[in-house]
Amino acid sequence: MKSMILMGMILLDYFTGHASTFVVTSNSNGGAGSLRTAINNANNSMGKDTIEFNLGSSIAARSISLTSSLPIINEALVINGSSQPSARFGNSGAKIIIRAVTSNVVGFRLYADSCEVYGLYIKGCGNAILFKVSDINSNSIIGAPHKGNVLSGNIGNGISGFNLIKTTIQSNFIGLDTNGLNPENNFGYGITASSYLTNGVIGGYNNDEGNTIGNNDLGGVFLAGGDSLQFIGNKIGVTFDGNSIAGNGGIGVSVGFVGDNEGYIIENNVISNNEEGGIRVSSDQSVIRNNLIGTDISGTLNYGNQGEYGLTVDGKRVEIRNNVISGNLGKGIIINQFARQISVTANKIGCDISGLNAIGNSDYGIEINGDSCIIGGFDEEERNIISGNLSGVYLSADEVKILNNYIGVAVDGQTALGNNSFGVIISGALDFKIGQITEGGNLIAGNLNRGIQFFSGQGEIAGNIIGVGADSISLGTTQNKGIELWAGASGTIRNNLISSHLTDGIYLQSSSNVSITGNLITQNGEQGIELNGTCFTIEIGADSLPNDITENGFEGIYISATSNFVSFYSNTFTCNGEIGGSAGVFGENGFNNGLLPGTVAFNDGLLTGESIPFSRIDIYSSDENCIQCEGQNTINTVYANDLGSWQTEIIQGASRIIIMTTDTSNSRSSAFSDCIQNIVSTSNELLPMEVFPNPFTHELIINSNNEFNIKIIGVEGKIYHQQKITPFNNSIDLSYLHNGLYFIDFDRLELKKIKILKIN
């Protein structure tokens, strides 16, 4: 029995061994005290051995020149260049130089598990560090704080592996010199694993754990696949201080394209100035957060990645949060076709880290091709700032929600930071929601073309502020149109504020099946809503959700001749058309199959009229403060009988009466009728009168025997002066006005144009 126990102890001692330390005392290529001999000794020693260094203090003494590859490492081994009793080289952790002086030399071939490499400067090799090809390697460590390696100037890769498990890579300079500031490129990748890197760590959360990886010809990091990767605190494509460019020749970081991958954490990295793009990730249930993608380390300078994107994502249930993704030559973010349930929240896309200054991506801020994504969120804290790009968001996917974002506006909600073309482009998307879902509206303003350009698809645009700042005041930089829909676009536009555009608030070009309800459409330069081409089945307003269409420069609603089945009852119209156009509604001859508004007359306290049988008659009074007569206040709704006749009592005090007819069986509304005055006598006749001089300099005189109120109105619709005129108070001091063309409004019974030439 004792002999068996003794034999077991001997076998255990044989297989586990005792760790040994071998010291390199010679910088020769081989022989006693050399690194080559130390590796051979470690391979022949059981247990996890250590190689330390005790060479001379000069750089020459600490340089080992290789004329052939070092021996393959077959046993767990620590190679600790940091043990050298000398200063480190530059900003690096390296103290020992390993240099290949002939071709086809490989630096360290780690074919065993649990190897560690510290404090070495490896250059000129085919690969600086090579893990066993076509096999699994686990639990190895390359670099650590104050003990990092410099893996630069090699013919192949800095670190190359096949299937790596629980590998940690920290604190290394890969593709840069020992200061981490100047290029010393590897001709391959900085780090590559051609199969998997699983449960690995590249970088770390603590100071000096991150790697600096730049100037590698094929790319910074390429990992074909793997699960549970932590890629944290690295600088990819910039120098060690993060203040200068050091772009890799390919993609900065490309991870996860073999097999099904999940559980990546990509955090606190700077990934900029790489030739073919910043970062491409294919994984499920992963997090990409707090990175600077396309800027310097301060988040204020443009160090954009070249190629097609800053960040491209595949996979499912990936969170992209609190990154700065700006300055990239292509798109900021691409969500690829087969990606699903990607959330993009609290990012700054196209601006600097403050959210106040543009660092635009040269294409879309976000391109969405994968379904069921959410851009922004239900709370303000989830808001993205998507501004300063060529266009803000391109949507070509289904069931996407875009909520609570600022698109074309700075983080303060008041400063224009426009995308140079469109705020949002929609092409082929179905069942999308832009805004609403319990107060999740976007602010879309300051963009130089359309706020929303909707080419094709179906969805909802609701609860957004479009065209002005968060305080509903113009930003100064004005979008051309608020929302534009083309022939393939359909859906709902409701409960939006659409204001202050150069031309139209909403523009439909040959669109069908569109509902426009509950919106405030105001102060747009031309039409509030324009229907052009052949539009069909358009609902503008409803009894429960009327639109408020007010103070637009031209018509409130303009409808082309070939449009049909367009209804627009139950809206309110106030002071439209005061710059030009025909007030509330203008329909070209023939629109809605030629439906006319019918007749209206006032007799003995009754309004009466004739229209088509069973039609709906909406009766409005028009605002006294507007030049044009249009429908501001709905005072009654009646229905014509089977002969088309109708009548109703007038409300006392209502004046400037106008009606609109709707053929409810075909959902067609007419333009407004002629305006009638609810006035019993004509004792308030204002004429004759005399207005002089015209043009004038400072003072305007109006001679009349009547009393009346006047308003002086600019061509933009603004009221500059109001005054009561009597035979004894008939002069008006207008010396404060600028030169230009103004209207004088005489109680709406007459309108004269006065050209005012002010002499300063």
pLDDT at 501 over 50: yes
Contacts of 273 (CB under 8 A, 6+ apart): 237, 238, 245, 246, 247, 303, 304, 305, 306
Say which DSSP state 593 is in. H
Report percent pLDDT > 90 for the chain.
73
Confidence of residue 756 (pLDDT cuts 50, 70, 90): low
Confidence of residue 46 (pLDDT cuts 50, 70, 90): very high
pLDDT in tens, 516-527: 999 999 999 999
State the burial class of residue 111 (Cβ atoms within 10 Å of its Cβ: 0-12, 13-18, 19+).
Answer: middle
Confidence of residue 578 (pLDDT cuts 50, 70, 90): confident
8 against 681, higher pLDDT: 8
Residue 562 in any domain: the answer is: yes
Q: How far apart are CA 284 and CA 268, in angstroms?
A: 20
Q: What is the pLDDT of residue 57?
A: 95
Cβ–Cβ contacts within 10 Å for residue 10, how many? 10
Residue 566 in any domain: the answer is: yes
Same domain, 532 and 666: yes
Mean pLDDT of the chain: 90
Q: Which uninterrupted H or E stretch holds 617?
A: strand 616-621
Question: From residue 603, how far is each of 232, 549, 623, 631, 683 by CA, in Å?
Answer: 82, 30, 22, 21, 18
pLDDT in tens, 547-575: 999 999 999 999 999 999 999 988 999 99
| Nearest partner of 660 among 668, 672, 648, judged by Cα | 672
CATH number for 563: 2.60.40.10
Token pair in block for residue 716: 């933009």
Pairing of strands 699-704, 731-733: antiparallel
Question: What is the average pLDDT across 192-201?
Answer: 92
pLDDT at 591 over 50: yes
pLDDT in tens, 340-349: 999 999 999 9
Same domain, 656 and 525: yes
The amino acid occupying position 56 is: G
pLDDT in tens, 439-457: 779 999 999 999 999 999 9
Residue 310 in any domain: the answer is: no
pLDDT at 69 over 70: yes
Q: What is the pLDDT of residue 741?
A: 65
Q: How far apart are CA 695 and CA 742, in angstroms?
A: 11
State the burial class of residue 380 (Cβ atoms within 10 Å of its Cβ: 0-12, 13-18, 19+).
Answer: exposed
Say which DSSP state 381 is in. G
Same domain, 512 and 642: yes
Question: 15-19, 485-489, 731-735: which has the minimum mean pLDDT?
Answer: 15-19
**Domain C-terminal end among 657, 680, 703:** 680
Residue 598 in any domain: the answer is: yes
Same domain, 659 and 697: no
pLDDT at 15 over 70: no
Residue 289 in any domain: the answer is: no
Same domain, 696 and 667: no
Same domain, 517 and 641: yes
Say which DSSP state 642 is in. T
pLDDT at 147 over 50: yes
> 156-181: string of b/e by CB count within 10 Å (b at 16+)?
bbbbbbbbbbbbbbbbbbbbbbbebb
Question: What is the average pLDDT across 382-389?
Answer: 98
Count: domains in the chain: 2
pLDDT at 158 over 70: yes
pLDDT in tens, 229-262: 999 999 999 999 999 999 999 999 999 888 889 9
| pTM for the predicted model, two decimal places | 0.85
Q: What is the pLDDT of residue 174?
A: 98
Residue 457 in any domain: the answer is: no
Residue 534 in any domain: the answer is: yes
Same domain, 644 and 536: yes
Please identify which residue in the block is written with the tokens 């747009």.
Answer: 524
**Domain C-terminal end among 660, 680, 700:** 680
**Domain C-terminal end among 680, 697, 730:** 680
Same domain, 608 and 711: no
Pairing of strands 230-232, 201-203: parallel
pLDDT in tens, 467-486: 999 999 888 888 999 999 99
pLDDT in tens, 304-330: 999 999 999 999 999 999 999 999 999
Same domain, 572 and 716: no
Q: What is the pLDDT of residue 401?
A: 97
Residue 620 in any domain: the answer is: yes
Q: What is the pLDDT of residue 335?
A: 98
Same domain, 693 and 658: no
pLDDT at 752 over 60: no
**What is the domain extent for residue 701?**
689-756
Same domain, 695 and 645: no
Same domain, 510 and 585: yes
Q: What is the pLDDT of residue 463?
A: 94
pLDDT in tens, 669-686: 999 988 887 544 333 333
